[in-house]
Amino acid sequence: MTSTGMNMMSRIVFYEDRNFQGRSYECMSDCPDMSSYLSRCHSCRVERGCFMVYDRTNYMGNQYFMRRGEYADYMSMMGMSDSIRSCRMIPMYRGSYRMKIYERENFGGQMYDLMDDCDNIMDRYRMSNCMSCHVMDGHWLMYEQPNYRGRMMYMWPGEYRNFMNMGYSGMRFMSMRRITDSCY
């Protein structure tokens, strides 16, 4: 896995009010609990890099991908409450991408190798569900619905044996996308 020095320059600024008003909190790395810095969050500006934001502390709950740009009222735009409680910096990655997806938990059932984006696992692989995966290379976003829609989950190299144990009970992942240089 190759990460570049760009990671040190990643920066996101959260604001309590819409249109970048009110108290702000600047973050340049992972933050497991933002509640002591801001009471609410209605806008943000990603100045460099990409981040995942979460509606619960310790990187739990619903996840949202934020790339460089201005989000003057992103909370209502994404259908979120004002409860962003943690954020994780996504390191820039240059290299190959590889992930094995499995139909059942603990790497059971059908298995397929992914090296590029997949907008619909049912259409491509005749696979009705993805319950576990092994990310060998790269950083990925997995989506609940085909065509990169619905709730999402950020995945980095590692073994993910059971999505239900990760707080995603009842959630099926139906599409996957690589987080590439074009995201930055």
Q: Where are the domains of the chain?
A: 11-90, 98-183
Mean pLDDT score across all residues of the chain: 88
| Whole-number pLDDT of residue 3 | 43
CATH of range 11-90; options 2.30.110.10, 3.40.630.10, 2.60.20.10, 2.60.120.10? 2.60.20.10
To which residue do tokens 């992972």 refer?
30
| Whole-number pLDDT of residue 141 | 97
| Whole-number pLDDT of residue 84 | 83
| Whole-number pLDDT of residue 171 | 73
| Whole-number pLDDT of residue 4 | 42
- Equal CATH topology for 11-90 and 98-183: yes
What's the token pair of residue 160?
A: 């993910």
> 98-183 has which CATH code?
2.60.20.10
Give the integer Cα–Cα distance in Å for 87 and 108: 31
| Whole-number pLDDT of residue 8 | 55
- The mean pLDDT values, 10 residues at a time, for the chain of 184 residues are 53 93 95 91 92 91 91 71 83 95 94 97 93 96 95 95 77 91 72
| Whole-number pLDDT of residue 164 | 79
